[in-house]
Amino acid sequence: MRLVFADCSVDYMGRLSAHLPRATRLLVVKNDGSVLIHSDGGSYKPLNWMSPPARLHIADRVEIDSTSLADELDSDVCELWTVQAAKTDDRLVIRVFEKINEMSHDLGSDPGLIKDGVEADLQRLLSDQIELLGSGYRMVRREYPTAIGPVDILAKDASGVSVAVELKRVGDIDGVEQLTRYLELLNRDPLLAPVQGVFAAQRIKPQARTLAEDRGIRCVSLDYDAMRGVDDVESRLF
């Protein structure tokens, strides 16, 4: 990874056009070909970037002066960075007026993100924020016991109807089948029936959603970061 602190301006040209006027910024060049431009505020997201695959060409002042670019660029531009996308005509053009500092370091291979959003955490968070399922919902019990295993959450909706909630990090067909078995058993209990089902997960596979909805089970997608209070909603583009 290469980090360059520079006085620069940035232009993105392609399907969308964007301009960052001259200022001091951090330029990040990664081994995967991506280039990111950061400022010292705003959010954790870059101001602009080019995703891989991309090709970076850096022209120094000598190269600039030997081409027609010299007439187009200010004389105080010391480097011209051109980042060309591999599959489109999109380009990121960075005019570097001064390099303040620069460093490079090989980070090596990364094992990837090990998420802590396990089902137990989702169960605890949803039990504390049961209103995410709908206005007027209230908790009855976590790990509600049945003869074939505990239901993750038993709740009541606004009208007092019992609701069995099955939680998964990734919702697949097996999870829907599991909730179906719980519902069949719970609906035999006259003190609980009728019992509705909610299949909740961070991500629900299309086949699982189709099966659940066919069986009258409502699907709910959970935003784990928002539930933990670490999602910066104001920094979202959409």
pLDDT tens by residue, 33-83:
899 999 998 667 889 999 888 999 999 988 988 887 777 788 899 999 999
pLDDT in tens, 187-207: 999 999 999 999 999 999 999
Q: What is the mean pLDDT of the chain?
A: 89
Range of the domain at 10: 2-104
pLDDT at residue 234 tops 80: no
123 and 27, same domain (yes or no): no
Within 145-205, residue ranges assigned H as helices are: 173-186
pLDDT at residue 228 tops 90: no
87 and 156, same domain (yes or no): no
CATH code at position 203: 3.40.1350.10
134 and 216, same domain (yes or no): yes
Side-by-side strand order, sheet with 79-85: 48-50, 35-38, 18-29, 2-13, 91-104, 79-85, 54-60
Q: What is residue 113's predicted lDDT score, i.e. its pLDDT?
A: 45
Q: What is residue 115's predicted lDDT score, i.e. its pLDDT?
A: 45
Q: What is residue 231's predicted lDDT score, i.e. its pLDDT?
A: 54
For CA atoms 156, 161, 164, 167, the dihedral sign is: negative
Q: What angle do CA 158, 122, 218 make, to 5 degrees?
A: 45
Give the domain-ending residue among 76, 104, 132: 104
| Residue 46 · residue 128 · CB < 8 Å | no
pLDDT at residue 117 tops 80: no
Q: What is residue 112's predicted lDDT score, i.e. its pLDDT?
A: 54
- Does residue 114 lie in a domain region? no
- Better pLDDT: 29 or 122: 29
93 and 143, same domain (yes or no): no
What domain count does the chain have?
2
153 and 206, same domain (yes or no): yes
Quick one: tokens of 2? 């290469």
Helix (H, G, I), strand (E, B) or coil at 77: coil
Q: What are phi and psi of 210, to 5 degrees?
A: -60, -45
CA dihedral of residues 72, 74, 78, 82 (deg, nearest 10): -40
How far apart are alpha carbons 182 and 151 in whole angstroms?
7
Q: What is residue 118's predicted lDDT score, i.e. its pLDDT?
A: 66
How far apart are alpha carbons 72 and 112 in whole angstroms?
43
50 and 128, same domain (yes or no): no
How far apart are alpha carbons 10 and 34 in whole angstroms?
15
| Residue 105 · residue 29 · CB < 8 Å | no
CATH code at position 89: 2.70.180.20
pLDDT at residue 238 tops 50: no
59 and 146, same domain (yes or no): no
- Does residue 38 lie in a domain region? yes
- Does residue 135 lie in a domain region? yes
- Does residue 110 lie in a domain region? no
- Does residue 238 lie in a domain region? no
